[in-house]
Chain A
Amino acid sequence: MSDKYSEAVGTFPKLDRIIWLIFFVVAALPIIFPIGLPLDVTEVTRDYYATIEDIPEGGFVIYSFDSGMGAFAEMGPADIGTITHLTKVIKKNDVKVMFVTTAGPEGQIALNVILTQYVDMSGIVYGEDYINLGLIPGYESTLAALAEDLHKIAPTDVEGTSLVDIPWTADVRGAEDYDIFIFSTATSPDPYPRQWAQYDKPILAVAQAATASWIRPYHEAGMITAYLPGQRGGAEYEVMLGAPGLGCSYMDAQSLTHVYAILLILVVNVQWYLKRKEEEK
């Protein structure tokens, strides 16, 4: 650690430390004592739900899982909700799901955590209902290749089984055979519609709240069908699924910390205004 950094951290004004302390108290209290603030489900979340619900019988889903454990607190609830919903349509409509990671190794770790710890996978069989292609580095180039020729970019799944030997992937060639694209990204959402929107298939996105404004133009233009932004999106989806979980438990804390942030902004602005008035005198 550089000396400059040590100096900067070491000389934090005491007020900053108090602000942080209050922040943690404000965020922790509703987690210990849940308030259960009401949560409205937005239209875009309903569209997201309806799109998964409408996957045709025997439909094929490609899910590019490119978020990671670093963003798990933010995107985990939405990813868990999406995969939980997919397990339901797998059982109901014999839908097939193919997971893949293109952006970095973290995606596979987060995906495995979700599949083993957070989603009820009973009755869902690997190889029959879903497969995982593992990490295929290349990000945007890989996304393009997955849509153009699946077997060329991914001849085998993560376990080394040839896709030709899996009955439901043997004849799948590319985007024309996929019924829906889903992606989960903790970074830029741009590459996904850039490579997939041309195929006129539904595209669903799980993204950080910070990138919601990034995704919105694609959604407005009809390229991304629907999206779940951050914890809020995840919490709304849990309400849609009728199973409040991680996301809903976070929302009380989110709401209170936002009120706290607004109060801080107000206090600082009033303080600044008074100081300026005083200087003018």
Chain B
Amino acid sequence: MIDELIYAAATLMVWSALYRDNPLFKISQNLIIGLYLGMTITAGLDVLYTKAWIPIFVGGKFFSLLTIGIVLGILMLTRLVKGVGWVARYPIAVLTAIGGSVAVTGAMGTQILGQLQMPPLTSLDNVLMVVGVFTSITYFLFSVRSQNPIFRLSTQIGKIFLMVSLGCMLGLEFMTNVSLPIGSLPHLVLGPGAYVTTVAIIILAAAIVYDSRK
């Protein structure tokens, strides 16, 4: 019950910004940052202990790739020391190189070559997909200044495809953002959270009356 009440109160404190800035919103803002920071530090220390300390100092793996990783991690902290901050560029360079090479290697097969396969034109879906891709590409051919009517028609069709796809993406984005408050609503209108909501409505009504008299 207590957790439901805290959940409801915290949610409404955040949402109170929709009316106007207020101390409760500021408290909730700092609370979220503090909690998230605490959680991240705890998780980080836990990872260091289980994935590094135990294998190296308990497992005796002093001379392993893990040790190199730890050394690189420590070098990252040199950014905090004036004069030797440049040393941190080495671990950053290693991180960037590894991340880039891992991503690019995978991307070749899946995001480039894998997407170049021509689908069989046996369904309306596939025909639309092929037409959409080609006409949309022509829309972005800025280096070609063609008065060719076929090319211009293609760019116009491409524009329509782009607008439709952007509309779909916006719709899906809306769906995601709407689902977040909807997910919180059962905790606010059902069970113990409903009492907190009632109190919040009374405070809101009082604030509206107070503000209107100013």
The answer to whether A and B come from one shared complex is yes
Which residues of A pack against B, CB within 8 Å?
A: 1, 5-6, 9-10, 12, 17, 20, 23-24, 27-28, 31-32, 71-74, 76, 104-106, 108-109, 134-137, 140-141, 144, 155-156, 158, 160, 190-191, 193-195, 197-198, 208-213, 217-218, 220-221, 223, 229-232, 246, 249-250, 253-254, 257-258, 261
Verify B21–A197 contact, CB threshold 8 A.
Answer: no
B102-128 toward A: CB 8 Å interface, digit per residue (1/0)? 110011011100110101000000000
Docked CA distance A55–B99 (Å)? 32
Extra contacts besides A73-B179, A258-B178 (4): CB < 8 Å:
A17-B19, A156-B50, A197-B110, A258-B175
| Complex Cα–Cα for A25 and B117 (A) | 48
Residues in B neighbouring A23, C-beta threshold 8 A: 181
Residue contact B172 to A195, C-beta cutoff 8 Å = no
**Chain A binding surface, main DSSP class:** helix
Would you call B103 and A221 a contact (CB within 8 A)? no
> Is there a chain A Cβ closer than 8 Å to B198's Cβ?
no
B144 in the interface (beta carbon within 8 A) = no
**A28/B189 contact (C-beta < 8 A), A12-B20, A140-B103, A253-B182 known:** yes
Chain A residues, CB < 8 A from B50? 134, 156, 158, 160
Contact: B98 with A194, CB < 8 Å?
Answer: no
In the complex, are the beta carbons of A9 and B20 less than 8 A apart? Answer: yes
List chain B residues, Cβ under 8 A from A136: 47, 51
B68 in the interface, Cβ–Cβ < 8 Å?
A: no
Across the interface, A10 reaches (CB within 8 A) one of B21, B55, B172, namely B21
Q: Indicate whether B26 reaches chain A with its CB closer than 8 angstroms.
A: yes
- Of chain B, the residue at the smallest CB distance from A197 is B110
Which of chain A's residues has its CB closest to B30's CB? A1
Please, how many angstroms separate the alpha-carbon atoms of A197 and B115 in the complex?
13
Find out whether the CB atom of B40 lies under 8 angstroms from the CB atom of A9. no
Q: Once the chains are docked, how many angstroms separate the CA of A209 from the CA of B175?
A: 7
Knowing A10-B21, A28-B189, A220-B119, the reply to whether A257 touches B176 (Cβ < 8 A) is no
Give the residue name and chain of the B residue nearest to A73 (CB).
B183
Say yes or no: A257-B178 contact (C-beta < 8 A), given A9-B20, A28-B189, A223-B110: yes
Across the interface, name the chain B residue whose C-beta is closest to A193: B110
- Are A223 and B180 neighbours in the complex by a CB distance under 8 Å? no
- 26 A-B residue pairs with Cβ-Cβ distance under 8 Å, sorted by A, are A6-B21, A10-B21, A27-B182, A32-B189, A71-B180, A108-B43, A136-B47, A140-B102, A144-B106, A190-B111, A191-B106, A195-B106, A197-B106, A197-B110, A210-B172, A212-B172, A213-B165, A217-B115, A221-B114, A230-B175, A230-B179, A231-B182, A250-B182, A254-B175, A258-B174, A258-B178
